[in-house]
Amino acid sequence: MASTDLARLDGQSALVTGASSGIGRASAMALAAAGASVAVNYRGSPDEAEEVVAEIEKAGGRAIAVQADVSKEDEVIAMFGEAEDRLGPLDIVMSNAGIQKDAAIGEMSLDDWNAVISVNLTGSFLVGREAIKRFRAKGRRSGVSRALGKLVFDSSVHQVIPWAFHVNYAASKGGIHLLMRSLAQEVAEEGIRVNAVAPGAIATGINVEEREEDASGIKKLIPYGRIGDPEDIGRIVAWLVSDAADYIVGQTIFADGGMSLYPGFRGNG
Ligand code: NAD
């Protein structure tokens, strides 16, 4: 029975990549709290992913852990197969897994470049492509959601803000921006909604060194004055894939405490 609360996700199944930590973890928890069954993807050791599963189950939800390196085509396809075998057809996919390998341009190796593009951009392509195929194969399930499927990419403010010494990362997120918009345009007529979230500085493992080295410097870039929590993003993802946001198609929701307002210009630049 479908809930009358448009923000609920009861009866739906979701897959979140890179969900054993940080924003992916918080998104998996938020999706589960809204009623979805969630496949928690991890790349290496299952321990952290199993902890996320246990937390979701403790709160009365349903979750499973599924292994895959999102940059590997065969592993992505197998992950979707396992998730659907165990949870049923997927309604929601969040492509979240991402890495940074920072270096000045003269020191950035081809391996550093390829690693970031492979996980962040090629991984988004592989996960996005498989999500669309699975949504199509599933068909509409009446009373569950207005959309046939919902796909969310985890981008970054750096899809628009240039980032010196991080050209591989910024290029990957700029790529996700037009991957998302082009794909949204391609599949919207089938009832599939493709969108993105663009977090600013969120306290996770990906930036722990930057935050330890220069927390006050980062805060100066955030007009709202605080570094974000993973839950700030998780809540938005759960809402964005719900029927409460059913008319949002091909958009990036910036959640950055105002970082993309170019705060350096506040005092006349
Ligand atoms: P995180 O390091 O906690 O999460 C990244 C996750 O991706 C980890 O669980 C990691 O195991 C997983 N992962 C890495 N490579 C993988 C692969 N090949 N296959 C499967 N999983 C893989 O950091 P986070 O901040 O939560 O990052 C999540 C996403 O959020 C990333 O795409 C990142 O670019 C984006 N983001 C983060 C911030 C921030 O400030 N933390 C800001 C903007 C965007």
Query: Which sign does the torsion angle of CA 26, 33, 126, 148 carry?
Result: negative
* Ligand 1 proximity of 205 Cβ (cutoff 6 Å): yes
Given strand 149-154, what is the order of strands in its sheet?
Answer: 63-67, 37-42, 13-16, 92-95, 149-154, 192-199, 252-255
Tokens 């570094």 belong to 227
Q: Which pLDDT tens digit goes with each residue over 226-267? A: 999 999 999 999 999 999 999 999 999 999 999 999 999 988
Q: How far does residue 135's CA lie from ligand 1's centre (Å)? A: 24
High-pLDDT (> 90) share of the chain, %:
91
Tokens of 86: 């165990």
Domain boundaries, the chain: 12-200+230-253
Q: Is the pLDDT of residue 209 over 90?
A: no
Distances (CA, A) of 185 to 131, 180, 193, 266: 15, 9, 9, 36
Check pocket membership of 130 for ligand 1, CB cut-off 6 A: no
How far apart (Å, rounded) are the C-alpha atoms in residues 135 and 143? 16
CB 140, CB 148: distance < 8 Å:
yes
Structure confidence at residue 5 (pLDDT): 94
Catalytic pick from 169, 224, 247, 262? Answer: 169
- The amino acid that residue 160 corresponds to is V
224 flagged as catalytic:
no
Q: Percentage of residues in the chain with pLDDT exceeding 70? A: 99
Q: How far is the CA of 20 from the centre of ligand 1 (A)?
A: 9
pLDDT of residue 215: 83
From the CB of 22, is ligand 1 less than 6 Å away? yes
Return all residues near 147 (Cβ < 8 A) that are at least 6 apart.
191, 192, 193, 243, 246
Model confidence over 99-156: pLDDT tens digits?
Answer: 999 999 999 999 999 999 999 999 999 999 999 999 999 999 889 999 999 999 999 9
List, for residues 162-186, the tens digit of each pLDDT value. Answer: 999 999 999 999 999 999 999 999 9
How many residues does the structure list for the chain?
269
Neighbours of 136 (CB within 10 A): 14
Fold of the domain built from segment(s) 12-200+230-253: Rossmann fold (3.40.50)
Q: Report the residue among 21, 23, 76, 222 best suited for mutation to probe ligand 1: largest number of ligand atoms under 8 A from its CB.
A: 23
pTM score, whole prediction: 0.98
64 contacts 86 by C-beta, under 8 angstroms: yes
Distance 230 CA to ligand 1 centre (A): 11
- Asked if residue 22 has pLDDT above 80, the reply is yes
